[in-house]
Each structure stands twice: as structure tokens, then as C-alpha cells.
Chains A and B, each alone.
Chain A
Amino acid sequence: MHFGKTIFAGLVGGVMAVASAASAQDTIKIGVSYPTPTHAWAAGMNWHAEQAEARLEALYPDIDLILINSPDPASQASALEDLVSIHAIDALVVLPFESEPLTDPVLNVKESGALITVVDRGLSQPGIEDIYVAGNNPELGRVSAQYMKTRLESGDNIVILRGIPTVIDNERFDGFMAEIEGTGINVLDHKHANWNRDDGFEVMQDFLSRFPDIDAVWAQDDDIAIGVVAALEQAGRTGDGMFVVGGAGMKETIRGIMDGNELVPVDVLYPPSMIATAMDVTVAAFKSNGPVAGRYILGATLITPENAEAFYFPDSPF
């Protein structure tokens, strides 16, 4: 007993020299759970989450953010259990690996009384989350098509490189096609390039062999766009106002836009930093005097040389 007290006193004395012992119980604990970064976009998300953690904890000494990443849905479910049982979190920010297998685990966290913020991927049951923060996939397609319309005329030809066959890809594609409809711009063909540079390169090579007249490319994603640009350069078909529109907001792409790259003149935002937005909003739920519960759908901003600076994070891996 006495021994334990000493340790407790030592810990408190060491960790918070000034704060009173009571404030330890007033700390607001927020768990942040997302998939282990295995591709560039997720690595960017991880980076932005760490940045937001440092920034928010410096701003509010009584906020404790706990970042956990998990390699698969099952470990994410276990991580959520740990956040409740070990850390007794007051709020959870979660980017679910997959909607189905994580709906119940998140529901269990909610039943412990925690505030729930869901990021990017919705759960398969409505009404669980208090706050929802996500990018806008249909809008990404629509904004890309709007830009195409400003540069192209009726009768011009474009090709589309799509992502991995998923709901995300379909939403983007359908958004794009709805906007381009009736403009007279011909979509010669669309193929899946799996959000991957190598596939982007090969699919574009084949499009170039197959179609002698292509005026622009919608690559949907910055990684695919890198492959597309390499194929265009190899074939020497970068002239005549040819341009490529990607998406996401990779730092190299944004750097290129700032430098006035004519081949990839714009980008459409689908930011990995949305995790930071979610963390900010969740903290605001405890700190703001205004209401914050609700759905936050981020804009699919068109990044141009004029506004590129605001989306450029040279230290992020993405």
C-alpha cells in the first residue's frame, strides 16, 4: 500500500510537475484507429495523424490522443477492445479497414459511452457514429470532368484509367461520366489500372497504340498518372495540349503544379489529411462551445497553381 502510493506520487510528480493529481482523471482520452500504412496514401494519413496528435496535445494539455494502427480487420477489432478496456477512451476516431467486420466492434465502443467519429469508410449500420468525416468520391469524378470541359471541345477524345474495381472507383467513374455526358467529348475506352504506376504505364501504352488521337487522359489517381506520363513521354505524345488529370494530392504532383507542369496542370483533392480533420472535430466536441456532431463531407478541391501551396506538405511521405 505504502509502496504503491510512493510510485503513484513519483509518477505524478515526474509526469506533471505542476498539475494537481486530480487532473489525471480529467484527461480526455481519444483513441485513433486506422489501418497500418502499406501504400503511399495511407502512409500520408499516418503522417498527418501524428502531426495532428502533436499539435492538439500541445494545444490542450488535458487531451491525450492514442494512435493505433492495425494490419487487418481482426486486429483492428482487437485494438478497439483494448482502447476501451485499457485506456478507457472518451472518444474514438476510426478509419475502418472494412465496413462489415468493424461495425459491431465500433458499436461496442459506443456502448461504453465513447463519442464515435468515423472517417472515410462508413459503417454498414447507420446511426452508430456521432461524427462522420469523409472525402467525396462522386465529387472527385465531377470536379475532374468539369475541368476537362473547360479545356476540351465537342469531338475531342479522352481515355480513362480507373482504379481497383470497388465502390470508390465506381462512384468516381459514375460522377465523371454523369458530368461529361452531353458535352460531345468522346470517352474512347476505360480500363482498370488499379491505382498503380506500373499498370498505369502499361494500360496507357496500349491506349496509345490503339488510339492515334487522344486529347486528354483522366487517370483518377496520382500514382496512375505517373505511369501515364511516362508512357506519353515514351511515345512522344506529350504535345498538342495533351494533359492528364490525376487525383488524391500526392506531394510530387502538387509540387509539379506549383512549378507550372503543363502535362499535369491540376489535381483533384482526396486528402489523406482527412484523419487530421476528424481528430480536430472530435477534440472540438469536448472543447468547442458550438455543436459539432454531424457529417463532414470534404470538398474535392481542384488544385491549381494558385492554391497548390496550401496542399503541399513536403515532409509527408505522400
Chain B
Amino acid sequence: MPDTAQTQPASNKPKIDLKMYGPAIALALLCILGFSLNTAFLSEGNITNLLTRSAFIGIIAVGATFVITAGGIDLSVGSMAAAIAGVMIILMNSLIDVLGTGTLTVVIGATSAIILGALAGLANGLLTTKGKIEAFIVTLGTMGIFRSLVTYFADGGTLSLSFEIRGTYRPVYYESILGVPIPVWVFIMVAISGWFLMNRTTFGRYCTAIGSNEHVAQYSAINVNKIKTWTYVIQGLCVALATVIYVPRLGSASSSTGVLWELEAIAAVIIGGTVLKGGYGRIGGTILGALILTTIGNILNFTDLVSNYLNGTMQGLIIIVAVWLQRADWGGKSKT
């Protein structure tokens, strides 16, 4: 096993740890590329757009880091976001008559989104652990359920937040505190909490242990089912938080909301250095992964050098190269 080889006392030779810095290097290269295509790439406006845009996928990906580190997978996050957004909009629209268009309506809407997210995550977690169904199948199922629910709520169309309440809620996406947009603040706080939880608590260590070897973790008196269920609840909470800052952007939800977010979130996690089969998770890498994904899309919009039809190709190539940068054996002396 390569893992055992790496746990040997490390050689004293200082060597750039690409597993650690790979994503950061990839992001830096992308930024240089973007800047060389158009200097407006590094303008304040564009950087702000980039960070704000990364917040959705980034927040969801922090949750996904826990799920994946503990050896699970959640495919339902995009649909879950759409369903939560839909319920939130319906709820707030109907509360206007009772509570008016003030902050209270928005707070209740957001709170119920958080509760819904936790419950949806709990359902995924319990079906996986107590139900003993593979996470892939459970979340594939809930992905379909959530997606069709939002289509049903919207009667096939689009759910729109009432214009009266939009004014109250809009600042949550568009306003800044100390020059930093609110979604970015939320992103930063989620990232810090996630980093702390993963690296400084027993919960984080248990996630890693379960992902490395579930049976050993079980014999080590770790309550595997409980920890795994919690990872899905955290994922649900992250999806709900992302939705709370997503809804005020355009004030609408439809069946096309959050399509493929699950794959973007998983891609962000893996680009960041977390291992897809579990056992090793890096929150910091995940954040960089989310930024890399958003930056790719942004750069493609900044140039007409590449045919529009090849956008997917460029994205695919950059993702593969970014992961190759950190996985390939750059040290030259392989131990395996």
C-alpha cells in the first residue's frame, strides 16, 4: 500500500509537496492565463464576481468534503438546492400576507431552508446507514425526487419570489460588508468552520478513519453509522446555506436550478486533493477547487479564442490537468 510507505519517517530532503500546493499552483496558472488574455480579468469587479459565484459550489463542496472523506457520495445536492429554493420561495410569498415584507419573513424563509436542508441530509444519511443502501443509489434516488418536486411545485414553470419581498432579501446577495460581498463572507465562515471541524476535532478524525477503513473504525469503537449520518446532515446544511444566498440573486427557482451542481461540487473536492474513495480530506483544497472551476468558466467567457462548442472540452482538460498536477509523481523516486 502506498499509504504505509508514506507514513514512514519522511526523508529530510525538502521537496515541494504537490499534493499540498497543486491546486494553488493550478489556480495561479489559471489567473496568469486569464490576465494575459485580458487585463480586466484581475479588475476588482471581476474578482468580486468570481468569488461570489464560487460561493455556491464552494459551500456545497465543503459539505461534500466530509461526505467523501467518510467514504460516501451525495449526488442529490443540486436537486436538493432547487427543491429548497422552491419551498423557500413559496413559503415567503405566502407569508407576505401574514407578516408583511419585512426582515421577519426572510428570516423565517431562511430558517426553514436550513431545517429542510438538515432533514434532507438526515434522510440521505439514514437511508445509507440504517437502510444499508449504497450512498450512490440513495442519493441518485433522492436526486430524482428533489428534482421532480421542484418541477411539480413550479407547475413545470418557474417559481418567482414576489417583487415586494425581493427588496428586503436582495442585499443578501448584492450587498457588501467591508468591501466583501455577503456571499463571500458566508463562504469564508463555512470554510473556516469546515477546516476546524475536519482538522481539529475528533469528528474530523473519525470521518478520515471511516473513509480509510470502515471495519477497522467500527472495531475501534467509532459509531460509524452516526458519524456517516452526520456527514450527510452537514452536507444538507451546506446546501441550504448555499440556497439561502442563491435565491436573492435572481429570485427564482425552476427545474433548471442547480443542474449538475453535484458534479461540480464533487469535482471541486477532488481537484482540491481529497481522495474520491475516502480516507483523506482537505477543506482548503476544496475551496481552491471551487475557485478553479469558476475561474475556468470565467476565462472562457473572457476570450473568443476557443469555439463555444469546445467549452466542455476546455473544462474537462483543465480539471484533468489540475488533478494530474498533484497526483503525478514529481519527486522522481517512486516508492511503490
Question: Which chain A positions have C-beta within 8 A of B160?
Answer: 252
8 Å CB contact of A192 from B40, B43, B308: B308
What total of chain B residues lie within 8 Å of the partner, measured CB to CB?
31
- Whether the pair B46, A209 counts as a contact (CB closer than 8 A) is yes
Q: A40-B254, A192-B308 are in contact. Are A206 and B301 (CB under 8 A)?
A: yes
- CB <8 Å contact, B308 and A191: yes
Report whether over half of chain A's contact residues are helix, strand or loop; otherwise say mixed.
helix
CB contact under 8 A between A40 and B297, given known A198-B257, A202-B53:
no
CB of A209 within 8 A of CB of B45, answer: yes
Partner of B155, one of A43, A201, A202: A43
Are B157 and A317 touching (Cβ within 8 A)? Answer: yes
**Range of interface residues on A (Cβ < 8 Å):** 35 or more
Residue contact A198 to B156, C-beta cutoff 8 Å: no
B309 touches A201 (CB 8 A): no
Minimal Cβ-Cβ distance residue in B for A203: B301
> Would you call B301 and A165 a contact (CB within 8 A)?
no
B residues within 8 A CB of A37?
A: 155-157
Q: Does B79 contact A (CB under 8 A)?
A: no
In the assembled complex, which residues on chain A have CB atoms less than 8 Å from the CB atom of B193?
none
Q: Mark B144-178, 1 if CB is under 8 A from A, else 0.
A: 00000001001111101000000000000010000
Measured in the bound complex, the distance between the Cα atoms of B45 and A149 in whole Å is 31
- Report A-chain residues with C-beta under 8 Å of the C-beta of B302: 206, 209-210
A202 lies within 8 A of B297 (CB): yes
Which of A59-67, A97-105, A114-122, A226-234 lines the interface with chain B?
Answer: A226-234
Chain A residues, Cβ within 8 Å of B45: 208-209, 235
Q: Is the CB of A317 within 8 A of B156?
A: yes
Answer whether residue A110 sits at the interface, using C-beta atoms and an 8 A cutoff.
no
A44 touches B157 (CB 8 A): yes
Please give the residue numbers on chain A whose beta carbons come within 8 Å of chain B beta carbons, in ascending order. Answer: 36-40, 42-44, 46, 162, 165, 189-192, 196-198, 201-203, 205-210, 212, 223, 226-227, 230, 234-235, 252, 317-318
Q: Could you pull out 27 A-B pairs where Cβ atoms are within 8 angstroms?
A: A37-B157, A38-B151, A38-B156, A38-B255, A39-B156, A40-B158, A43-B154, A43-B155, A46-B156, A198-B249, A201-B249, A202-B53, A205-B49, A206-B46, A206-B302, A209-B40, A209-B41, A209-B45, A209-B46, A210-B38, A210-B40, A210-B301, A212-B40, A223-B158, A230-B249, A234-B174, A317-B156
- Contacts A197-B250, A198-B256 supplied; 5 other A-B pairs, CB < 8 Å: A37-B157, A39-B254, A39-B256, A42-B156, A190-B308
